[in-house]
Amino acid sequence: MFPVQTAISQVFSDRILVRGYSLTAMAGTYSFGDVVYLLMTGELPLGQEGEMIEAILVACVEHSINAPSTHTARAVANTGAPLQTAVAAGVSAIGEHHGGAGEACARLLQETIQAHPTATPDELAARVTADFRQRGQRLPGFGHRFHDPDPRAQQLLALADAKGISSVHVALARAMVTALHEATGRSLPLNVDGALAALLSDMGIGWRYGKALFIIGRTAGLAAHACEEQMTGKPFQFAARVEAEYIGPVERPLPPRPSETV
């Protein structure tokens, strides 16, 4: 059968190469952020992209128990599952409604600019915002149910401005905040997913890695919570606390089995 193709790494008995570079030579000289950038783009950063990615990973690392992924990881750890099982369940809860908007937002930013390379951010923002409103959809990456503004987005954009990383995708994202405000009268600032999306786009990383970057950072928080739950969690402390309201049929006698009615 044909072999499986990959451009990521090669393993030899005496060395491991990632995108052609020695993994062990990078350990201790390049940061984890540098290597994540290498994994995602194929090249080591020429500028401060590695530090920017480290900052993104830190910003994504932790949002306590009320984040659905963390709640899920702890709930599974609470059942006596091993650590990898609890973290895996937590990762699987990073979906469209939580942590996953970075992928959709990055795709929107990248495809919009690719399709209209000469338009201004304000023109594009007006068009994209109108499109989404016409379809009745929410723009991914804007607004947060708890933070207004999202301090993580503010900090990441300030860092990107200082590092000279902010470019056309950040400009479009900022123009969309203004366009959204004008169109709706509401404040829908960039959230951490939206900032992550704009920044990875301006660093030349494909939109498909938008969710990946959040997952990598958050995994550290999930692991810490799962370990804490293993050490200190009270039995059934998650599932048992849900107050359920039953809205189905009231108690009723069993009907005779169909075969018995013949």
Residues of span 198-237 touching its own copies by CB under 8 A: 206, 208-209, 211-212, 215-217, 219-221, 223-228, 230-237
- Which residue in 35, 109, 180, 203 binds its own copies (CB under 8 A)? 35
For residue 40, the minimal CB distance to its own copies (Å) is: 6
When the beta carbons of 116 and 204 are compared against its own copies, the nearer one is: 204
What's the one-letter identity of residue 99?
A: G
For residue 178, the minimal CB distance to its own copies (Å) is: 22
When the beta carbons of 92 and 187 are compared against its own copies, the nearer one is: 92
3-state secondary structure of 27: strand
When the beta carbons of 29 and 134 are compared against its own copies, the nearer one is: 29
- Map the footprint of its own copies across residues 137-166, applying CB under 8 A: 145-148, 151-152, 154-156, 159
- Which residue in 88, 119, 168, 183 binds its own copies (CB under 8 A)? 88
Cα separation, 71 vs 160, in Å, equals 31
When the beta carbons of 7 and 115 are compared against its own copies, the nearer one is: 7
Q: Which helix (H) or strand (E) covers residue 157, if one does?
A: helix 151-162
- Map the footprint of its own copies across residues 68-87, applying CB under 8 A: 68-72, 74-76, 78-85, 87
For its own copies, which stretch binds (CB under 8 A), given 90-98, 118-126, 170-178, 182-190? 90-98
- Check: CB of residue 31 under 8 Å from CB of residue 54: yes
107 lies in the site for its own copies, by CB under 8 A: no
**How many residues interact with its own copies (rule CB under 8 A)?**
141
For residue 34, the minimal CB distance to its own copies (Å) is: 8
Cα separation, 71 vs 93, in Å, equals 9
Task: Take residue 140 and report the two structure tokens written for it.
Answer: 């991914």
- Check: CB of residue 121 under 8 Å from CB of residue 171: yes
- Check: CB of residue 173 under 8 Å from CB of residue 157: no
Among candidate residues 111, 99, 90, 185, the one with its CA nearest the CA of residue 141: 99
Cα 6 from chain centroid (whole Å): 24
What's the one-letter identity of residue 24?
A: T
